[in-house]
A and B are shown apart, each in its own frame.
Chain A
Amino acid sequence: MIPTLGHIAVLIGLAATLFAAGAFVIGGRSGDLAVLASARRAMYAAFAMVAIACLAMIVSLLAHDFSVVYVARNNATTTPPFYSVISLWAALEGSILFWTLLATGWASLVLYRYRARLPALMPWVGATLALGAAFFFAVMAWPSDPFVRVTPIGLEGNGPNALLQNHPFMGLHPPLLYLGYTGMAIPFAFGMAALITRRTDEEWLAVVRRWTLVPWILLTAGIVAGAWWSYAVLGWGGYWAWDPVENAALLPWLTATAFIHSSMVAERRGTLRIWTHALVIATFTLTLVGTFLTRSGVVNSVHAFTTSGIGAWFAWAILLTLGVALGLLIWRLPDLGDRRPPGAVVSRESAFLFNNVLFLAITFAILFGTLYPVVVEAATGARASVGAPWFNRVNAPIFVALLFLTGVGPALPWGGASWMTVRERFAIPILAGVGVVVAAWALGVRDAAPLGIFGLATFVLVVMGDEVVRGARSRARTRGEAPPVALLRLATRNRRRYGGYLAHVGICVMSVAIAVSATLGTDRTATLRPGEALSLGAYTITYDQLVTEPLASDPRVIETRAELTLAGPQSGRIATALRDYPNSATAIATPVVRTAIGEDLYVTLLAYNPSTSTATIRVLINPLVMWIWAGGAIVALGALFAIWPDRRRMAVEAALAGA
């Protein structure tokens, strides 16, 4: 009964989105406000329908209704309620359902917010969003129906993926990532609307910048949360493996970041406009390509979902999207010419241009590395794989150049800089950077990567610090404000600039933490008998005993844990375990991560022998890892600061609307 309700809701949703798409086009051409209002309401209805379908799925999961294939595959009678609920995104069909919920949610939000504004653009924005949502409803109606039933009905289900139920972070990371992915449809829809209506002026850019930053913040948080999950759950001591699934999230993030920068130039100087449109199209297409790669089984992976016809649907959707969008862009090229001559070589515009070229280079490198095995297999039939060392080697130099530009760009004036300005702005930061490198060398750091990143990060931070201090001081002088007040007012009067700076601080923090944790960590592995100890750095870890017992929350899961006593800078009793899930052939590690400001102590159980009670323990000291997560949070906060509604500007907008 309830699954049938969900299925019917999906079909009504499909009809509603198709109606909305048609009505938006008709209303856009005729300007009939009643038709446009009905189109908007149809999109709200589609959102309500998919919300009902999601609810039906969650109820089926909580009730362990194994007549639904999806529930039988991803749930068991012993699954705790929390993991039953988040099993909504445990596998392909459910995650498409969840994706559609978020996509129609974003669409409804945008259509509601702009119901009385941008009358020329909005019908086409609505039509684009409605068609996108209709595609996902159609996928659920045909190749990837989440409510397929099975007979005979099993007494017990397979249970959720062992990795999914091992850590509550799985409740946070996928929704953040999906919110980011689905939100990228909004800038794309505005881009299409601007091209269709030939209103490719600064108006759409101002709207789209904001609506790119919102999903960008969520995508950033989702990627960092995913790295954190991988670190805290998988037990290998690392956080990024250049897996196709990870790359799929990073690719649209890179083009969206490039867009955030290039749109500033387009808005300010009227140049780079074709390019900015192309980035919006690329970002949206890459979210589709990412879903296709990770969900169709094209990329060779044990976790690939297959045997559903979803791959061909996505392939057609990608080709159609790209074909229509590129065609539209080329058709409108004559409208998108540069309005001003390009700036001087040493200017902020060219720093932004270089920034975009580098972002594109990283995007292509990662796309190439991810697709290379597919190309080789298509051409020769042989299976190939591209490993993490290749990605690191190719991307590290580009990234270093990008970090350098992070410092250079904001300090250069628009239009062009004289040699005097350059010398005045960069002398102190360069000296500071060199000084930090020398100091680190003197303290014993010998690896090139951390040394280089220390120097660059210092350079970037000093450039920005100098800029902020100069601004605050001049404000304090001219307005007679106390320095802290001047600083606060300076930042809140120009949120975009100083929010951007804060995001750059976060990037510097992350860069230093990544470079240090990747090169300066230590680790040791040993097989111990009870009572024996293992030392690493200042820590001593004594192995007390091996305990095997079923998990209290789910007795089908058998946990074998090594109980340890930790002594050193951090001390206490800890236990690291391997868990055997009934539906997983390999045991899932439960590492212990003791986090401190300077370093993480990471202890994981690799293997054990019950007959001799020996345990093989791996201990890692990972310096500065918590600063990767902290840096990610600073980046997100900076972007949030940048888009935070400005009270003065809102007052101006309200006055204009009333006039």
Chain B
Amino acid sequence: MAGPFARGSVLRWLLVPVVLVPLGWLLFTGLGSDPRNLPSPLVGKPIPVFAGTTLEGDRFSSADLAGKPAVINFWASYCIPSCVDEHPVLLDLVARHGDEVQLVGVLVNDTPDGARGFLDRYGQVSWPTMLNPDGGISIDYGVTGPPETFFVDADGVVVSRHIGPLTRALVDEGLASLGIAP
């Protein structure tokens, strides 16, 4: 064989890096991105309004969130282990920043009894939990499944959305986007 692929030609070995280097770059940069950080059409827009009854039987609505940054957390008692893992993170969030941010839970496809059983088992909470009986709030927020969390600024605008359980690092990142120092 003649040409650049002849025996002994060093040139032909160039093929290996020519194929591998761009492919490797592509695969590894892709890995760095977080697929759970999905774009939501809601980011940058005012939150969809909601109103209803909480687990304690009180009335609560999105108007009660006005003037203070908020974290809206969609969860369910059947969501094991994600919501179980996330629960202490939320308790810690309120213990550290309860004065600066309002946390509100929203049940996804769950019964009040199921939710109460979950809280009895994994720890009672100080923040309200919306019952969301017909799933209307989940639909308005485009929730794919529990747990899912929206960070909302003091003007009621969605700043970021996270799918999957929160960790302390993710909470601090979300709060930082609301201008709250961890």
Contacts and interface: CB of A to CB of B under 8 A. Distances in A.
Interface of A: 66, 69, 72-73, 76, 150, 152, 154, 156-159, 292, 296-302, 304, 306-307, 311-312, 315, 318-319, 322-323, 326-327, 330, 333-334, 337, 371, 374-375, 377-378, 383, 580, 582-586
Contacts of A584: 109, 145
A322 B121 CA distance: 51
B33 interface: yes
B135 to A, nearest CB: 7
A326 B19 contact: yes
A156 B24 contact: no
B81 A73 contact: yes
A383 B145 contact: no
Nearest to A373: B30
B58 to A, nearest CB: 24
A306 B35 contact: yes
A324 to B, nearest CB: 10
B36 A378 contact: no
Contacts of B26: 371, 374-375, 378
B78 A315 contact: no
Contacts of B144: 302, 585-586
A307 B164 contact: yes
Given A76-B78, A158-B78, A326-B16, A304 B35 contact: yes
B143 interface: yes
Given A323-B16, A327-B16, A582 B30 contact: no
A583 B145 contact: yes
Interface in B1-43: 1, 5, 7, 12-13, 15-16, 19-20, 23-31, 33-36, 38-39
Contacts of A322: 19-20, 23
A330 B15 contact: yes
Nearest to A381: B33
B53 interface: no
Chain A facing B: main interface SS: loop
A292 B24 CA distance: 13
A330 B14 CA distance: 10
6 contacts: A73-B80, A152-B121, A297-B34, A322-B19, A333-B7, A378-B25
B27 A292 contact: yes
Given A154-B84, A319-B24, A585-B144, A377 B78 contact: no
Given A330-B15, A585-B139, 11 more contacts: A297-B33, A297-B34, A302-B38, A306-B36, A312-B31, A322-B20, A323-B16, A330-B13, A333-B12, A371-B26, A585-B144
Contact of A319 (B13, B27, B80): B27
Contacts of B152: none
B38 A374 contact: no
A323 B23 CA distance: 11
A157 B83 CA distance: 12
B80 A298 contact: no
B123 to A, nearest CB: 12
B1 A333 contact: yes
B15 A585 contact: no
Nearest to A581: B109
The size bracket of the interface on B is 35 or more
Interface string B78-107: 111100100000000000000000000000
Contacts of A301: 35
A409 B109 CA distance: 58
Given A300-B38, A334-B7, A154 B80 contact: yes
Contact of A298 (B27, B84, B121): B27
B119 to A, nearest CB: 14
A333 B138 CA distance: 60
Contacts of B39: 383
B175 interface: no
A103 B141 CA distance: 42
B109 A319 contact: no
Contacts of B19: 322, 326
Nearest to B6: A334
Q: Kindly list the 5 A-B residue pairs having the minimum CB-CB distance in the complex, ordered from nearest.
A: A297-B35, A298-B30, A378-B29, A315-B27, A154-B80
B108 interface: yes
Contact of A69 (B15, B81, B164): B81
A152 B26 CA distance: 40
Contacts of B1: 333-334, 337
Contacts of B13: 327, 330
Query: Which of B7, B25, B26 gathers the greatest number of chain A CB atoms within 10 Å?
Result: B26
B20 A158 contact: no
B2 to A, nearest CB: 11
A298 B109 contact: no
A274 to B, nearest CB: 9
A315 B164 contact: no
Interface in B133-182: 135, 138-139, 143-146, 163-164
Contact of B138 (A297, A582, A585): A585
A157 B13 CA distance: 53
Interface string B106-132: 001110000000000100000000000
Given A315-B24, A585-B109, A158 B33 contact: no
A378 B34 CA distance: 12
B84 to A, nearest CB: 7
A383 to B, nearest CB: 6
Contact of A583 (B5, B28, B78, B84): B78
Contacts of B15: 326, 330
Nearest to A336: B1
A72 B81 contact: yes
A580 B135 CA distance: 11
Contacts of B29: 377-378
